[in-house]
Structure 1
Amino acid sequence: MTSRRERSSRITEDEINDLILKLHPLLQDSSSRCNTKVSTAKILKETCNYLKKLHKEVDDLSERLSQLLASGNVDEDTIRALLRR
């Protein structure tokens, strides 16, 4: 028997579908395909790939910032330029 809390914390299929529909426009490349129907699996795969790309960018920026801080060649403009990439 499932507890009341477990039942209330479960997400329904309709809620999942709604979240997928909200997620699709947020993907970087989806704006060019906004009128075409894309499968849920493809949207989730694109989302995972996009998150991996963002994670790599954060790692690269962190590494670059660490190098700048270690070298002592850091000023406000350098940091701003790094964050604009």
Structure 2
Amino acid sequence: MSAANRRSRPRNSSRTKIDTDKINELLSKLQQVVPELRSRRSCTNKALTSKVLQETCDYIRYLQREVHDLSNQLLQLLDTADIDTNQAAIIRHLIA
């Protein structure tokens, strides 16, 4: 290997490299919290790893939509409820 190739390659350090065991551990944790993945047991191949990551992204997007929808519902309730204006303002500020 030439000196130029050695210089252009990233150094193997504990801060930049995650080993396979750690990746498998993290994928396993994702499988435990994402409902669509709870029934799957292992993440040993790339296709399954890709599926875990895709399902996780989909689940996060779903949760974001849920938060948005629930926030809108709460704002609508605040508009119609008989609630102290200061309390309503605080809640609106927290939602925004």
| TM-score when normalising by structure 2 | 0.58
Give, in whole Å, the separation in 1 of the partners of 2:33 and 2:62.
14
Indicate the residue corresponding to 2:24 in structure 1: 17
Structure 2 counterpart of 1:30: 37
Root-mean-square deviation (CA), in Å? 2.7
Unmatched tracts of structure 2, length 5 or more: 1-6, 84-96
Change (3 A) 1:30 1:50: same
Between Structure 1 and Structure 2, how many residues are aligned?
Answer: 71
The structure in which a higher percent of residues are helix is 1
C-alpha distance 73-40 of structure 1, shift in aligned 2 (>3 A): farther
Gaps of 5+ in 1: 75-85
Kindly state the Cα deviation for residue 26 of structure 1 after the two structures are TM-superposed. 1.5
Q: Does the 8 Å contact 2:34/2:55 carry over to 1?
A: yes
Q: Distance in 2 between matches of 1:25 and 1:9?
A: 26
| Mapping for residues 1-85 of structure 1, pairs under 5 Å | 7-14=13-20, 15-31=22-38, 33-35=39-41, 39-72=48-81
Q: TM-score, normalised by structure 1?
A: 0.65
- Matched to 1:29, the amino acid is E
Report sequence identity in percent.
33
Ranges of 4+ aligned residues in structure 1 off by more than 4 Å: 35-38
